[in-house]
Chains A and B, each alone.
Chain A
Amino acid sequence: MMPKVSVKNLNMDYDNYVVMRNLSFDVQQGEIFLIIGQSGCGKSTLLKYLLGLKPVSHKKIFYDGKDINSMINLPGFYGEKIGVLYQGGALWSSMTLAENVALPLETYTSLNGKEIEEIVALKLSLVGLKGFENFYPSQISGGMQKRAGLARAIALDPEILFFDEPSAGLDSVSAKRLDDLILELKESFGITVVIVTHDLASIFAIGTRAIYLDIESKTITAMGTPHELLMSSNDKNIIAFLSRGTKIT
């Protein structure tokens, strides 16, 4: 089966640093794919490449077998093909939650005002924010902002959802709630999910497959299920990363 996202021999740099080199991996339809590694290893930079926010050479990143460079300017790539939840939610602060979710719908669909209103209410209720339509981002908590960001990310029912550190800054209860929500979205809508994280609880709770970006060798040093990575890897960095405070039986 053709992978949903495919990365082939990608080299990444950031401010003249070579961050990572020779990255190759595939993300399959319907899986929750994790990009893990220590802080500063380049996970968020990789996400920017995957989202087309950083220029990339031809034939390095593919969506459904098509080069990202031929797709990013096509209508529907952002929104319909991919949706993103950023670390802090990245809600547009001058708009209410309802307006945040409605904006992509107003711009890219031919729905009328009432239909948009209904879909906005539906998306907000899916993330547990029913009744918060007229709140501004500054009036709600960090966890709620993330959930509102998720409602916006799924506004156009994207095929692939990207998450940048979804549990960062959340307490364990809120983080678990977000994990459950991600699982639910994956199960219900069949969305493919790519998550950049270093949160161990999330890694083992929801990850289907993961790649480990090694800060020292500047490449992927392991790929597999999170348990496989922990049990079969000989790499001291991976073991140290995955075994912190976690007992695997």
Chain B
Amino acid sequence: MTGIAELKLGNETIAIISISGTWSIYEKHPHAEEFIETILSKPSIQRVDLKFVDLKSWDSALINFLIRILDSCKSKNLTIDIDNVPTGIRRLIELSKTSPVRTTSPVSQRKPTIFEFVGRVGLLVFFSLKTFLGFVGKLLTGIVFFVRGKVKIRSREFALMLQDVGVKALPIVFLISFLVGLIIAFVSVLQLSQFGANIYVADLVGIAMMREMGCIMTGIIMSGRTGAAFAATIGTMMVNDEVDALQTAGFSIINFLALPRVIALTLMMPLLCIFSSFIGILGGLCTAVSATDLTIVRYCTQTAKAVCLNDFFVGIVKSCFFGFFIAAIGCQKGLQCRHSAEDVGLTTTTAVVTSITAIIIMDAIFAVIFSLLGM
């Protein structure tokens, strides 16, 4: 037997709601709205009586039903007697009424207009950029002090960090770079073979990997791997009060947490970029040799002819900047994490997205600069 509620009119001025059966949130039960509607549609009703007949069991479903009825009666100044309500239910209703209600809200609930929205986003971007530049400034100061020997980095942790951001990243960098080289060569072969210019596959792959793809692909891999790890580690430290503990033990957060990471990644990125470029060329070689009549020696000779030292340095310079900014963004986002686990996830995602965006923007800027410099 499910929950039953019946409305009877005692006389012109009294409405009686009879409640019986088993009230459960898992089963169908009457809704208060229908009763409220009927009661309010009869203006002659002055009082509502609650009658409990053969009530088997109840849960939140009945409490919610009664609270809705009570609130509606109260708002329309109708008398309602709750003396008949079983003690347990009455206590819970009273408890829900005595709970204090927070009246102030920290943020406006009003939906912002389009102008407010644009303004807010503009201000957010401006202040985020300002904060980030301040952070970069502190990092650069830290690097200067480190070079002058005024800031010390724990050598064991630093060595582990170098291993973590460098050596341990080699397999994934190898895989991605090899496949990228392979794909570039494959697409090139398809086009160039129509003109009998297969030999230029080596030029395309070599220059693309050395100048652009080597550092960009390594940057993207390191954003997703190392930048995210930095943000998550520091974010978790924020959640666990470890960062506060460092600060109250007198350590500079920048020098202790961010500096080793930034230096490690800035040092490792060029090496990874060189590795990535050569592996990409190897990938290109595999495709070219297997899909065309080129030999290994010819491919290598052509690559050496096509790629000049400038291309090599362009990749190295870019990867240094990419490494610095990936680490800086990861650390800064981690330090902005608030005290919740959800925030760690959000921080990590933001760090990756921001790093990848920054890499693409920086690459575009570098393209213009190197073009102006004739490199």
Chain A residues packing against B (C-beta within 8 Å):
15-17, 48, 51, 53, 75-79, 82-84, 86-88, 90-94, 103-104, 107-108, 149, 152, 164
Contacts and interface: CB of A to CB of B under 8 A. Distances in A.
B347 to A, nearest CB: 17
A78 B242 contact: no
A210 B326 CA distance: 48
Given A15-B106, A16-B106, A51 B248 contact: yes
B100 to A, nearest CB: 9
A103 B244 contact: no
B106 A17 contact: yes
Contact of B250 (A77, A91, A152): A77
B106 A90 contact: no
A158 to B, nearest CB: 10
Interface residues of B, number: 16
A86 B245 contact: yes
B241 A88 contact: yes
A107 B250 contact: yes
Which 4 residue pairs of A and B lie closest in terms of their CB atoms, listed nearest first?
A78-B250, A90-B241, A90-B245, A86-B241
A75 B250 contact: yes
Contact of A78 (B107, B157, B240, B248): B248
B245 A92 contact: yes
Contacts, number: 56
B126 interface: no
8 contacts: A15-B106, A51-B248, A77-B250, A78-B249, A90-B240, A90-B241, A90-B242, A93-B237
Contact of A82 (B107, B242, B244, B248): B248
Contacts of B244: 48, 51, 53, 84, 86, 90
Contacts of B251: 107
B246 A104 contact: no
B242 A93 contact: yes
Nearest to B251: A107
B247 interface: yes
Nearest to B242: A90
A94 B245 CA distance: 14
Nearest to B245: A90
A84 B241 CA distance: 11
Contacts of A84: 244-245, 248
B242 A108 contact: no
A149 B251 CA distance: 16
Contacts of A76: 250
A78 B247 CA distance: 8
Given A16-B106, A17-B106, A103 B249 contact: yes
Nearest to B104: A17
Nearest to A104: B249
Given A16-B106, A17-B106, A104 B242 contact: no
B155 to A, nearest CB: 12
Interface string B88-121: 0000000000000000101100000000000000
A93 B238 CA distance: 12
Contacts of A83: 248
Contacts of B107: 16
A152 B241 contact: no
Given A15-B106, A17-B106, A88 B240 contact: yes
Contacts of B247: 53, 78
A156 to B, nearest CB: 8
A22 to B, nearest CB: 19
Interface in B335-363: none
B167 to A, nearest CB: 18
A152 B106 contact: no
A15 B237 CA distance: 21
B241 A104 contact: no
B229 to A, nearest CB: 12
A101 to B, nearest CB: 10
Contacts of A87: 241
B242 A91 contact: yes
A93 B240 contact: yes
A51 B245 CA distance: 10
